[in-house]
Amino acid sequence: MRIEAVTAELRPRSDWEAVDLGLALVRRDFSRLIGAWWLGMLPALLVGAGLWFLHPVFSMLFFWWWVPVGSRLVLFRLSRVLFGDRPGWRDLLRELPRAMLRRFGHRMLLARFSPWRPLTMAVEDLEGLRGKNYRLRCRTLMRRGDSSLILIFFWRLGLVAWLLVALISTVVLFLPEAVRLEWAEYFQTWSDSSVDSVAPAGMASTWLVCAAAVMCLTDVFATGAGFGIYVNHRTWIEGWDVELAFRRISARLAKVAVMLLLAFSGIDRLGAQEPQETIERVLADPAFEVHTKTTRTPELWDWVKRLFDGLGSGGRTGGGVFSALGWVLLVSVIVLGIAGLVWLGYRYRHVFKPPTGARIGPSRPQARVVMGMEVTGASLPDDITAAALAAWREGRGHEALALLYRGAISWMIRVPRVEIAESDTEMDCLRRVKGASLVEAGYFEQLTEVWSRLAYARRVPDDAVVEGLVSRWPFGKGGSA
């Protein structure tokens, strides 16, 4: 496979663009592909001619069963033409035995009805894979989705039926009246029990010729569509378009490199006559005179190094001044570090306090109205559950659930002192209760859900749900524990 000789534009395409590519390849070489298909079907024609006089139906079935051999010769020519080769009739004749006999059982029996045959046939014939490698390769190529192959399979079935009916109907229009009546009489008397009855010769021949023409057209184009999908999948996976672009760039740069090589070789030949004299003459120019100047600037690091050398030697080698300064600097750094740590600990002392959950301190006033509802203990009845159940049974559902929800909020604020603000919503209250890790959080979550559905979505709960909330009320009477 010479990818640089490809005769079509290789680029990543969608699945249906790939199908269009395959159909375009078939149209470009249509007559020769039709010839290759009929060459593959030649054994079926010979066998079918022998069976024709015994039973035309079996002859037609054998012709249909042999179609994959013609498909493989079409695929053989398509793949060679795409990459710049032009196989002749000799090449097709040499390929014919392999198309008939290679993995005969798998191709003609197991995979005969597979809708993925246009793609898997390319893997088997063009790459020559078998067994586990063949299955892995097919899964890799179909990873982008095989829906287009399934649709092509059903498109092919529908197109065969439509074309066959259209061709036979067209032939019937041109039949003489006597022949048309003979055919109509045979159709009226034919049944499953009389399948061995002899049809008129012209009628059977017409059916066989029309079916062969329809199978030829649909199979050639379906094989081309499958080959287009195969090429597109390999382009996506293996980057054929990128490789082709690099090869074209390499070819262009190779020409430039040859020209530059020739140019530099000519310059070298011109300058190779007196190289030593040329070098000496150039270096003798005053512009190439080397001037040097050495300066030494004391650096801070040198002073620090001397200071700590004196510190490490304890004054024995570095001198007393540097030793004393080193000790002062070391002690100062240690003292400043400790002081900094103490200041940070004091500055962020609130971080080290034990968590207090979501409970409010005594200095913060408790919320009295939450979401427009009074939640103080004085605003609630003595027996919240009894009042809520009575309101529910009287048909005042909104009031009943509001009583339960207000009582729960009131208890959360006063007893475990959950930090609920007057500006909080239902979800804010639920989040604060869960953050306080209370055992009543599960009940409060269910109550919040039922209340929100009724208040905002007008979804009235069942009686069993409300009675369950009342019977499992964990907050005592009047919202007090």
Looking at residues 44-57, what average pLDDT do you find?
Answer: 76
pLDDT digits (tens, 9 = 90+) for 210-225: 888 999 999 999 999 9
pLDDT at position 31 over 80 = yes
Please tell me the distance from the alpha carbon of residue 16 to that of residue 149, in angstroms, as a whole number: 10
Of the listed ranges 24-28, 78-82, 162-166, the least confidently predicted one is 78-82
First to last CA, the chain: 85
Which residue would you say has higher pLDDT here, 256 or 283?
A: 283
pLDDT digits (tens, 9 = 90+) for 93-141: 888 888 888 877 777 877 777 888 888 888 888 777 777 887 787 777 7
Tell me: do 59 and 101 sit in the same domain. Answer: yes
Angle (CA) 189 191 197, round 5°: 75
Q: Specify if 267 maps to a domain.
A: no
Angle (CA) 461 453 378, round 5°: 90
User: How many Cα atoms within 13 Å fall on the side-chain side of residue 92?
Assistant: 26
Token readout for 344 is 């940070």
Amino acid 172: pLDDT? 84
Token readout for 209 is 């010729």
Tell me: do 387 and 436 sit in the same domain. Answer: yes
Amino acid 305: pLDDT? 59
Selection from 186, 61, 79 nearest residue 124 by Cα:
79
Which residue would you say has higher pLDDT here, 319 or 250?
A: 250
Tell me: do 323 and 398 sit in the same domain. Answer: no
Q: Specify if 358 maps to a domain.
A: no
Tell me: do 205 and 316 sit in the same domain. Answer: no
Contact 78, 226 (CB under 8 A): no
Looking at residues 251-256, what average pLDDT do you find?
Answer: 59
Looking at residues 192-204, what average pLDDT do you find?
Answer: 58
Residues 6+ apart with CB under 8 A from 233: 18, 119, 141, 142, 144
Amino acid 267: pLDDT? 52
Please tell me the distance from the alpha carbon of residue 215 to that of residue 70, in angstroms, as a whole number: 10
Token readout for 456 is 């905002």
The b-or-e profile of 232-261 (16+ CB within 10 A means b, else e) is: bbbbbeeebbeebeeeeeeeeeeeeeeeee
pLDDT at position 254 over 70 = no
Contact 225, 19 (CB under 8 A): yes
Tell me: do 91 and 215 sit in the same domain. Answer: yes
Tell me: do 209 and 328 sit in the same domain. Answer: no
Looking at residues 277-298, what average pLDDT do you find?
Answer: 68
Give residue for tokens 């962020």.
348
Which residue would you say has higher pLDDT here, 63 or 253?
A: 63
Provide the CA 1 distance to its chain's centre, in angstroms. Answer: 29
Q: Specify if 41 maps to a domain.
A: yes
Tell me: do 87 and 220 sit in the same domain. Answer: yes
What angle do the packed helices 131-141 and 201-238 form, to 10 degrees?
80
**Percent of the chain's residues with pLDDT above 70:** 72
Looking at residues 365-369, what average pLDDT do you find?
Answer: 83
Amino acid 73: pLDDT? 92
> How many domains does the chain fold into?
3
Q: Specify if 256 maps to a domain.
A: no
Tell me: do 343 and 392 sit in the same domain. Answer: no
Tell me: do 203 and 345 sit in the same domain. Answer: no
Selection from 364, 367, 480 nearest residue 415 by Cα:
480
Contact 404, 384 (CB under 8 A): yes
Please tell me the distance from the alpha carbon of residue 28 to that of residue 7, in angstroms, as a whole number: 11
Range of the domain at 44: 3-190+198-238
Q: Specify if 254 maps to a domain.
A: no
Sign of CA dihedral 83, 88, 94, 99: positive
Looking at residues 293-316, what average pLDDT do you find?
Answer: 55
The CB density around residue 151, as the number of other CB atoms within 10 Å, is 14
Q: Which range in 37-51, 153-167, 230-244, 276-290 is most confidently predicted, on average pLDDT?
A: 153-167
Q: Facing residues of 374 across strands?
A: 369
Of the listed ranges 313-317, 373-377, 422-426, the least confidently predicted one is 313-317
Please tell me the distance from the alpha carbon of residue 22 to that of residue 20, in angstroms, as a whole number: 5
Question: What is the pLDDT of the chain when averaged over all its residues?
Answer: 77
Contact 330, 338 (CB under 8 A): no
Contact 292, 285 (CB under 8 A): no
Tell me: do 117 and 220 sit in the same domain. Answer: yes
Please tell me the distance from the alpha carbon of residue 91 to that of residue 237, in angstroms, as a whole number: 30
The pTM score is 0.47
pLDDT at position 195 over 50 = no
Per the document, the length of the chain is 481
Which residue would you say has higher pLDDT here, 258 or 140?
A: 140
Tell me: do 137 and 51 sit in the same domain. Answer: yes
Single-letter amino acid, residue 59: S
- pLDDT class for 323, splitting at 50, 70, 90? low
Residues 6+ apart with CB under 8 A from 163: 214, 217, 218
Amino acid 226: pLDDT? 87
Looking at residues 396-404, what average pLDDT do you find?
Answer: 90
Tell me: do 391 and 338 sit in the same domain. Answer: no
Q: Specify if 422 maps to a domain.
A: yes
Provide the CA 473 distance to its chain's centre, in angstroms. Answer: 51
pLDDT at position 41 over 70 = yes
Q: Specify if 321 maps to a domain.
A: yes
pLDDT at position 403 over 80 = yes
User: How many Cα atoms within 13 Å fall on the side-chain side of residue 171?
Assistant: 17
pLDDT digits (tens, 9 = 90+) for 443-481: 999 999 999 888 888 888 999 998 999 999 988 754 444
pLDDT digits (tens, 9 = 90+) for 133-181: 877 877 777 776 567 888 888 888 899 999 999 998 888 888 887 777 7
Q: Specify if 173 maps to a domain.
A: yes
